[in-house]
């Protein structure tokens, strides 16, 4: 039976990476001076390790706000059709009222494009 070198699959999920980093850091601390991670030249777990808690807290807050954001979007989506309908109907009335000078709609904050429509190319 031949052994493979083994492949390490690192998650793309930040929460999972933080959980794994915490486990690695805890093992590193448990081994103390015997930890092989002390041999790393470009990584100092005594500096990086404590940052795991702050990163986890930031991630948890972001996830909480993501949930709150979704709730607010759901509220918006219930209210928006009525508002958009009122807006479209009002624009139609204003456009009819200012038929001779549609640029007056800009006084209401409505963008008016008076460039001629491009002709569809013939097939």
32 pLDDT more than 80: yes
Is 119 contained in some domain?
A: no
Is 24 contained in some domain?
A: yes
Is 6 contained in some domain?
A: no
Is 116 contained in some domain?
A: no
User: Cα separation of 67 and 106, whole Å?
Assistant: 38
Identify which of 78, 82, 79, 108 has the alpha carbon closest to the alpha carbon of residue 93. 108
Is 4 contained in some domain?
A: no
Is 1 contained in some domain?
A: no
What pLDDT does 76 receive? Answer: 95
Is 63 contained in some domain?
A: yes
Q: What's the mean pLDDT in 28-57?
A: 96
What pLDDT does 52 receive? Answer: 97
Assign 5 a pLDDT band (cuts: 50, 70, 90).
low
What pLDDT does 1 receive? Answer: 63
122 pLDDT more than 90: no
Tokens of 59: 């991630």
What pLDDT does 65 receive? Answer: 96
On whether the pTM is more than 0.85, the answer is: no
Is 113 contained in some domain?
A: no
- Mean pLDDT over each residue of the chain, to the nearest integer: 92
Q: Tens digit of pLDDT for each residue in 73-90?
A: 999 999 999 999 999 999
Query: Which structural domain range is residue 90 located in?
Result: 14-105
Identify which of 108, 80, 78 has the alpha carbon closest to the alpha carbon of residue 92. 108
* Structural domains in the chain (count): 1
């Amino acid at each position: 039976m031949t052994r493979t070198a083994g492949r390490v699959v690192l998650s793309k999920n930040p929460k999972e990476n933080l959980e794994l980093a915490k486990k690695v850091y805890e093992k590193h601390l448990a081994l103390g001076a015997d930890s092989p991670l002390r041999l790393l030249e470009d990584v100092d777990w005594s500096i990086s390790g404590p940052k795991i808690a702050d990163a986890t807290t930031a991630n948890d807050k972001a996830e909480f706000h993501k949930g709150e954001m979704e709730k607010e979007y759901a509220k918006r989506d219930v209210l928006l059709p009525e508002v958009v309908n009122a807006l479209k109907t009002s624009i139609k009335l204003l456009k009819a009222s200012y038929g001779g000078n549609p640029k007056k709609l800009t006084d209401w904050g409505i963008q008016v494009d008076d460039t001629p429509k491009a002709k569809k190319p013939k097939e």
